[in-house]
Structure 1
Amino acid sequence: MSVDQITDAAGEDENATTEAVTTLAAAGSYPVAPGYRLNVRSGPGTGYSVVRVLSEGARVQINCQSPGTWVAGPYGTSNIWDNIGSGQYVSDAYIRTGSDGYVAPRC
């Protein structure tokens, strides 16, 4: 094992896991919860200004994710905020990622 290779408690290569998550996040887009117009904010929290609003049926590509304000939404309660562009964040509680945790690298 090289110095650069790190394994977790299950013996899995963390670098490979991170690369796989990054590849999946970059390869696809995720839908906004049906029936919602979603505020896009300038930072990872409800205290940041709204920079635009996503229309119903929108899909987003997640560049990275940050912890921020806790939000209750159709996909549970989460403090994960998805960066969808420069200075553009949406609450992960409104995005169907298929996971309660991080699906992209942290910002």
Structure 2
Amino acid sequence: MSVEQSRAVTDAEDAVAATATASALATSYPVAPGYRLNVRSGPGTSYAVVDVLAEGARVRINCQTPGTWVTGPYGTSNIWDNIGNGQYVSDAYVRTGSDGYVARRC
């Protein structure tokens, strides 16, 4: 493979990775209907509430991390979704379509 071909392959791989990252960040997920969701300063119920999301809110998940186990409308989970700097919500209240991780780990 020539240097030019190698660069073309690397550029194509970089473009695919960038598109996948942008797509993941652009995806938003709905909070369970009928719930106002506490946003906490860390991944657990012992962290301070820093905000409350309105009913019908959607969230973009930056990354996910394990924390306190919570039971909600979408099951029992210890996954917490980072939705902003110092802002976490329990994944048990977010309809991601999965019982596992849908974003990179924090």
TM-score in same-fold range (> 0.5): yes
* CA deviation after TM superposition for structure 1 residue 101, in Å: 0.1
What is aligned with 1:40?
39
- Deviation string, structure 1 residues 18-46 (Cα, Å, up to 9, x no partner): 98874543121000000000000000000
Q: Contact 1:21/1:103 (CA < 8 Å) preserved in 2?
A: no
TM-score (norm 2): 0.79
Higher helix share: 2
Q: Map 1:1-107; keep pairs closer than 5 Å.
A: 22-107=21-106
- Deviation string, structure 1 residues 61-94 (Cα, Å, up to 9, x no partner): 0000000000000000000000000000000000
Distance in 2 (CA, whole Å) between partners of 1:20 and 1:79 is 29
The runs of 4+ residues in structure 1 deviating greater than 4 Å are: 18-24
Larger Rg: 2
Gaps of 5+ in 2: 1-16
Distance in 2 (CA, whole Å) between partners of 1:76 and 1:31 is 15
Gaps of 5+ in 1: 1-17
Distance in 1 (CA, whole Å) between partners of 2:45 and 2:37 is 12
Q: Contact 1:21/1:105 (CA < 8 Å) preserved in 2?
A: no
DSSP 3-state at the match of 1:101:
coil
Q: 1:28 to 1:73 in 2, by over 3 A?
A: same
TM-score (norm 1): 0.79
Count how many residue pairs are aligned between Structure 1 and Structure 2: 90
Alpha-carbon RMSD across the aligned residues, in angstroms, is: 1.7
